[in-house]
Amino acid sequence: MGKIFVVGFGPGAYEHMTERARVSIEQSEMVIGYKTYVDIVSGLLTDKQIVRTGMTEEVSRAQEAVKQAKAGRTVAVISSGESGIYGMAGLVYEVLIEQGWKPGDDPEIEVVPGVPALASCASLLGAPLMHDFVSISLSDLLTPWEVIAKRVEAAGMGDFVVVLYNPRSGRRTRQIVETQKILLKYRSPKTPVGLVKSAFRQAQNVVVTTLEEMLNHEIGMLTTVIIGNSTTFNYHDLIVTPRGYQRKYTLSREGGRLEGQPRGVQPSPWSLDATVPVDLEAGADSNGPVGTDSRVAVPMQANGAAFATASAPSRLSAATTEEDRAASSDAMATAPIHPNFLPVLEIAVSPGVANKQFTPTQLTGIAELLGEHGTITYTPSHEMILKIPGGDPHLVSQRLLDMGLLISPTGLKAQIVACDFCDGEKTEAIPYAEELHQLLHGQEMPNELKIGFNGCAMACYGAVMEDIGVVYRRGFFEVYLGGKRGGCSPHPGQKVAEGVSPEELVGIVQRIVEEYQANAHPKERFHKFMKRQGEVAGFRWDGSVPVKTVEPVCGE
Ligand code: SAH
């Protein structure tokens, strides 16, 4: 029986070739490959028949290999890197399949894996492929350019690190220009880019550049281009994409105290000394106008000793003047720790319980706190989540409160999601919404707990769909429990009480929340808890109307 070894010999140097690759080439009576590649492995070829072919003759190479193997020979078809990545493995199988070959038939096929260019080139750049990446060949000889462009677009959109094979040849020069243009729609011009030519070969050349500058350097058929994602950064001449174990911390308000509190479970091995919890003096509540009087207690003084490793960006976060910011940027430039490695402070911010309007001054202030590396995410519960690498919880929360904003922790917490009370026209119920906010908002819960609070019977903010719904109607409240806004089988909550007087309301909601807090399983959603218990704080769940199953589409 004949045999075909489809061998990936790695980037070029012998020490990067696998033992199996070496042995398979040595065992073969014949070696077939692109002439440059045959030359690379020539040290292993003694008395062998060698078939060297040109670059574009891949199909005839595969056909020749099959022909020779069928005549009983042992043949090695060689590819650079990995033979199964833009290599010969697929072609050999295609030729065989066309001839009706099946696994077990003559000839025997063995694909010998090798180190692909994406791995050898990445190793020379540092660690650019530490997170999800795509590889795209820019050669449009066999793939229409529209398909390639669509893939580049998708990679840009998906924030993948991008590896470009076959980036440019003598005649094919347009593709890399188009690719740069597409990616610049999604990525900073400063995104780190590595150009590696002939990795682990004699003419090896490594260039570290940026997305905007990359075309000013030599790029050819022997180059692999690696373009970072939005978190990739340079460190001296290296390119590193963080693995993603970025620690988060948020505020806690146990006993009225605000603290930096680790959030998420992955500690960052490189920032062990950043774990010191912040010890704070509780500040006094202040009574402000509507929307600002339900502040949580905050520190009046920052504790400078905490979060020592975060000091430079903390200054950035708290920078108020141009000078401060410039000084902080300097500190950033020389800081030994890149923002990508700093734990991230997360704080939820809103303009008020009933107030839904941010002022320009508040937005400018928030932008200043975020600095260059912070982000904002807007949530369906009318909160903005600020994420600030290395942000100092004391300084940041103090600044936000000074701007008249409400702040609370992120994560599994109780949230009061109130309507805007028709911009203050329907004010009667606002004090109760604010009292609930003051008591419950931000409290840690087994899972997210949304308490919808609507100021009139229109309930246009959909309070009845929340875990707990409170609707104000002519001087009294209705209470709905166990709503499920999304997922499989969404449903409104059941009305469990009406005609509840304002004096009773807060106590009732508080008792319901306390029971949930005390008795729910970890991560149990309120509606499930309610159904499991059948009764919460004296309110019964009557079971829902049975659903007639026509065609089950989801598994709950
Ligand atoms: N099978 C190979 C890829 C062949 S496609 C693999 O797994 O790596 C040919 C492309 O691979 C080249 O255009 C270049 O982009 C890349 N390439 C292959 N060897 C390389 C090397 N030693 N250094 C840099 N890029 C290389």
Query: Counting atoms of ligand 1 from 1, which one is nearest the CA of 225?
Result: 15
User: Rounded mean pLDDT of the chain?
Assistant: 83
Cα(530)–Cα(533) distance, rounded to whole angstroms?
5
Bridge partners for 79 per DSSP = 8
pLDDT at position 291:
29
What pairs with residue 477 in β-bridges?
472, 500
How far, in Å, from the CA of 384 to the mean position of ligand 1? 45
Q: How far is the CA of 363 from the centre of ligand 1 (A)?
A: 48
Whether residues 324 and 307 fall in one domain: yes
- What are 163's strand-pairing partners? 135, 226
For ligand 1, residues with CB inside 6 Å are 11-12, 79-82, 85-87, 116-117, 121, 165-166, 196-199, 201, 221-224
Query: Whose CA is closest to atom 5 on ligand 1?
Result: 86
CA distance 412 to 400: 22
Tell me, what CATH number does 164's domain have? 3.30.950.10
Domain boundary among 240, 257, 278: 240
What pLDDT does residue 257 have?
A: 40
Q: Measure 171 CA to ligand 1 centroid, in angstroms.
A: 18
Kindly give the number of the ligand 1 atom that is closest to the alpha carbon of 166.
13
**Residue 211 and residue 340 in one domain:** no
Please give the distance, rounded to the nearest whole angstrom, from the Cα atom of residue 83 to the centre of ligand 1: 10
Q: Which amino acid is at 233?
A: F
Helix (H, G, I), strand (E, B) or coil at 443: coil
The CA 31 to ligand 1 mean position distance, Å, reads: 20
The residue contributing the CA closest to ligand 1 atom 2 is 81
As for how many domains the chain has, the answer is 4
The pLDDT assigned to 549 comes to: 64
* Nearest-angstrom CA–CA distance, 222 and 427: 71
CATH of the domain at 496: 3.30.413.10
CB neighbours of 509 closer than 8 A, spacing ≥ 6? 436, 440, 451, 468, 470, 479
The answer to whether 386 and 346 have CB atoms below 8 angstroms apart is yes
> pLDDT, tens digit, for every residue of 383-418?
999 999 888 888 899 999 999 999 988 888 899 999
Higher pLDDT: 313 or 520? It is 520
Question: Rounded to 5, what percent of the chain is helix, strand, coil?
Answer: 35, 25, 45
Output the CA 81–ligand 1 centroid distance in Å. Answer: 6
The band of 53, judged by pLDDT with boundaries at 50, 70 and 90, is confident
Provide the residue range defining the domain that includes 328: 268-411
Structure tokens at 130: 């530490």
Residue nearest to atom 6 of ligand 1 (CA): 81
Q: What percent of the chain has pLDDT over 70?
A: 81
Residue 462 and residue 519 share a domain:
yes
Q: Could you tell me what percent of the chain has a pLDDT over 90?
A: 63
φ, ψ of residue 442 to 5 degrees: the values are 90, -5
Task: Flag whether pLDDT at 275 surpasses 80.
Answer: no
pLDDT of 279 higher than 60: no
**Ligand 1 atom at minimum distance from 197 CA:** 24
pLDDT at 4: 98
